[in-house]
Amino acid sequence: MRLNERYLNAVMIVGLLALPLWAVVADQPFTITLVTRAVILALAAVGLNIILGIGGMVSFGHAVFFGIGGYAMGILAYHAQTYTALDLGLFSMDGTKSMPMIWLVAMILSAIVAVFIGLLSLRTSGVYFIMITLAFGQMFFYFAISWAQYGGEDGLSIYVRNDFPGLNTLAPIQFYTICFTLLCVVLFLFARLQASPFGLALNAARQTSVRVETVGLNPMQLKLLAFVISGAITGLAGALFADLNRFVSPTMFSWQLSGELIVLIIIGGVGRLMGPVIGACVFVALEHFLGELTDFWHVYLGLVLLCIVLFGRGGLTGLLTGKEGAHV
């Protein structure tokens, strides 16, 4: 069976529209929450897919950006709900419950941190790059645990979901609509980026950086910018994830989460537009349905991953369309 990748992509988008609508009709709000979770994880993984799939950088610390997004939301909303000022040393500001504002802060903070992490980690490659990004992830994780002002190990609870103009974000389907729309926007951006000159050069830098240098381009600069864009998108997903759970905790910075994002992409298809989306749906479905049956559902996730790595280098997208994925 050889499926055109466009059809597969369309099926995924239509499915992600139809399932929640069905859930509304059937009055299954938990299903909507589940799909929202998948969509947000997909969004985070699309961010990672830019550097992993196109640029070939295996970041084992992308939870850093997920966590920054989460804490950006948590801290801003915490100050808004307690009517306290957020003291930033030189000046202080009020918290906010506005989602667009929170997203903006989450993305900008993630981008700034990505510049620093990128500048240091991109000097290395291969296993050293993996280890450096992991080390940054652990630094942020332990920092969050010891950050008593914002809940330390227990995290921060936000009682009411943040606001989006014109929508009732507490209604699951309306919050889902926000997340789904953002996913579609980011997928569109990913597709444009991948085909653009920048995407082509980044893809070339993954395959042979000597070639890129020889035509007069700087692979480091290309990779750094990709890393920053990637971090900002994953940061946005983190803010949404915190809003979904109305809770932020250091686990958003955990290395397990970094690993899961990589696993999602490998299951779905490295460097493929819908790879992260397919991976996230499979992941959340396994987590939910197998998780009900057994606490050891990760064993089955591992088996799925094993089969995919052994038999289909292109992930599920590759198996369905018969095209191999990017080699990282």
Partner 1 sequence: MSDPVLATLNLNKSFGALKATDDVSIDLKPGEIHAIIGPNGAGKSTLIQQICGGLRPDSGRVMLRGQDVSGFSTQARARAGLGRTFQISQLCMEDSVLENAVLGAMGAEHMAWRFWRPALKRSALRERAEAALERVGLTENRDTRCANLSHGQRRQLEVAVALTLSPKAFVMDEPMAGLGAEGSKRLTGFLDGLRQEAPILLVEHDMDAVFALADRISVLVYGKVIATGTADEIRSSREVRDAYLGDEA
- CA distance linking residue 175 with residue 16, whole number of Å: 14
Rg (CA), the chain: 19
CB of 56 to partner 1, least distance (A): 11
Footprint (CB under 8 A) of partner 1, residues 156-215: 192-193, 195-201, 203-204, 207-208, 210-215
Cα angle for residues 163, 74, 158 (degrees, 5° grid): 65
The two tokens of residue 135 are 């080390």
Q: Which residue's CB is nearer to partner 1, number 250 or number 271?
A: 271
Q: Which residue's CB is nearer to partner 1, number 203 or number 258?
A: 203
- CA distance linking residue 161 with residue 119, whole number of Å: 35
Strand partners, 164: 167
Does 2 sit near partner 1 (CB under 8 A)? no
Q: Which residue's CB is nearer to partner 1, number 151 or number 199?
A: 199
Would you state the torsion angle of the CA atoms of residues 169, 170, 176, 178, taken in this order, to the nearest 10 degrees? 10
Q: Which residue's CB is nearer to partner 1, number 208 or number 294?
A: 208
CB of 212 to partner 1, least distance (A): 7
Contact (Cβ atoms closer than 8 angstroms) between residue 73 and residue 106: yes
Q: Which residue's CB is nearer to partner 1, number 196 or number 294?
A: 196
Q: Which residue's CB is nearer to partner 1, number 6 or number 211?
A: 211
CB of 133 to partner 1, least distance (A): 24
Does 6 sit near partner 1 (CB under 8 A)? no
CB of 220 to partner 1, least distance (A): 10
Helix axes 219-245, 63-82, angle to 10 degrees: 40
Closest CA to 163 of 211, 215, 214, 99: 99
CB of 100 to partner 1, least distance (A): 22
The residue type at 232: A
Phi, psi of 167 (to 5 degrees): -125, 150
How many residues of this chain interact with partner 1, rule: CB under 8 A? 25
Does 216 sit near partner 1 (CB under 8 A)? yes
CB of 14 to partner 1, least distance (A): 25
CB of 233 to partner 1, least distance (A): 14
Does 80 sit near partner 1 (CB under 8 A)? no
Strand partners, 85: 94
- CA distance linking residue 66 with residue 240, whole number of Å: 9
The two tokens of residue 96 are 């906010």
Residues binding partner 1 (CB under 8 A): 192-193, 195-201, 203-204, 207-208, 210-218, 222, 326-327
